[in-house]
Amino acid sequence: MDYIIKNGIVVNEGSMATWDLFVHESRLVGDENMLRKPQVFDAKGCYVLPGIIDTHVHFRDPGFPEKADFATESRAALAGGVTSVIDMPNTNPQTTTLEALEEKEAIAAKKSAVNYAFMLGATNDNIDNLLSIPIDRYAAIKLFLGSSTGNMLVSSETALEKLFKESRKLIVAHCEEESIIQANLRNYKLEFAGTEQETASLHPKIRNTEACFVSTYKAVERARKHGTRLHIAHISTATELSLLSNKALNEKNITAEVTPNHLWFDDRDYATLGNQIKCNPAIKSNDDRLALWSGLIDGTIDTIATDHAPHTLESKQQRYFDAPGGIPSIQHSLQMMLEGFFHPSAVERDDHDEVIHEWLPLIVEKMCHNPATIFGIQQRGFIRPGYYADLVIVEQGETCVTHDSLLYKCGWSPLEGQNFHTRIRQVFLNGMPANQSTAMQLKIEK
């Protein structure tokens, strides 16, 4: 089926203009004459964006069906305007071999409602095998320099040196210094475990600024030494920004990501949300949050990705030291970003239309263009003739996050009760409306 998407305000490559888009056999075309009996979708008064590319998700499949699977989480993603995802390797089995990668590809081919690719995980023992896998088979190498869900910490200096020296693939690093975390954890457990003070407010004290800065510093220095392409995942502190550059993207070998959660919440929110916002690295101070916004705006931070990481509500309701870290967030990530600009840059403003109009090109750059460029995702992330017609149409209008509206298998969100001023009107995936579309495996450049 061919489509004409008419009258929408198209946000693409730094510009915003009202023009029509033509979709022929899954792709955007520049000539209406190529269409055969097209259906018309009127997007008047709406913004038309490239489909969101979320390069950091944990869909928990295979191995953790009580938390999530590819079917449930990809449907939640699609509802939020996310059309492509890159899934992390800390599943069961861990995605650290070609065989495990192929198992995941087969699962996604059957279940996924969005386009997909995968990272391969580094371990202390798999570097030789990892480097032998063709680099167009996977999106990046995930490197855990701090422990998190799945216990994939890489601590061997020999393994790290070999990986950074020989990798021809982008390395995505979770940077937290394990020795600092473990020392803090021991001390705080001795003082607070089993007491009324054992709450999630301890989390940014245990996984603190020092742990993040030291680990990021080491990763950046190692990447500079070897000329390695490095992407720092989920930046969470102001201090880490001093290690990065705000040069143009094509001049960078080292890039960085921030999550909507680290831009939305701060340590004051632990009092009301507790373990629901416990994640790794920890959500930190309001000063850190505002610094992250500034880094996003000035180009120091290059991408926005959710680190969508569902856990059962039962596990989150345990005492702080026993509760896992991770937040489900992909269903509302775009709305969080559209709404979030009111926090740091428009606190006293009530002209919501103008704020959205002002910041949408930046959001598209960080959630669509840059992820496609950094990860080498072919023919997506931009609205261009010949590219796949992955599109999200956003309209003004208040919506509330309710329990019944959540599509996550875990069934909860720290955003329940939150009102947004925008809603996702329609999503096109591979040239078809979302409810009629078929997902594809992403093609990755060599």
The tally of CA atoms less than 13 A away on the side-chain side of residue 22 is: 13
Q: What is the pLDDT of residue 357?
A: 72
* Percent of the chain topping pLDDT 70: 96
Helices (H), 227-330: 260-264, 270-273, 286-298, 313-316
pLDDT score of 364 more than 80: yes
Of 135-139, 336-340, 440-444, give the lowest mean pLDDT range: 336-340
DSSP 106-161: HHHHHH-SSEEEEEEEP-SS-HHHHHHS-GGGSSEEEEESS--TT--B---HHHHH
Please, which pLDDT band fits residue 345 given cuts at 50, 70 and 90? very low
Domain ranges of the chain: 52-376
Please, which pLDDT band fits residue 35 given cuts at 50, 70 and 90? very high
Strands (E), 265-369: 303-304
pLDDT digits (tens, 9 = 90+) for 259-317: 999 999 999 999 999 999 999 999 999 999 999 999 999 999 999 999 999 999 999 99
Q: Give CA–CA dist 214/273, Å, rounded.
A: 28
Q: Give CA–CA dist 234/282, Å, rounded.
A: 10
Instruction: State the CB neighbour count (10 A cutoff) for residue 272.
Output: 9
Of 91-100, 124-133, 256-265, 335-344, give the lowest mean pLDDT range: 335-344
φ and ψ of 48, to 5 deg: -115, 115
pLDDT digits (tens, 9 = 90+) for 56-107: 999 999 999 999 999 999 999 999 999 999 999 999 999 999 999 999 999 9
Average pLDDT, whole number, for the chain? Answer: 95
52-376 folds as TIM Barrel (3.20.20)
pLDDT digits (tens, 9 = 90+) for 228-238: 999 999 999 99
Q: Tell me the pTM.
A: 0.97
441 secondary structure, DSSP code: B
pLDDT digits (tens, 9 = 90+) for 386-443: 999 999 999 989 999 999 999 999 999 999 999 999 999 999 999 999 989 999 999 9
For tokens 């309710």, name the residue: 402
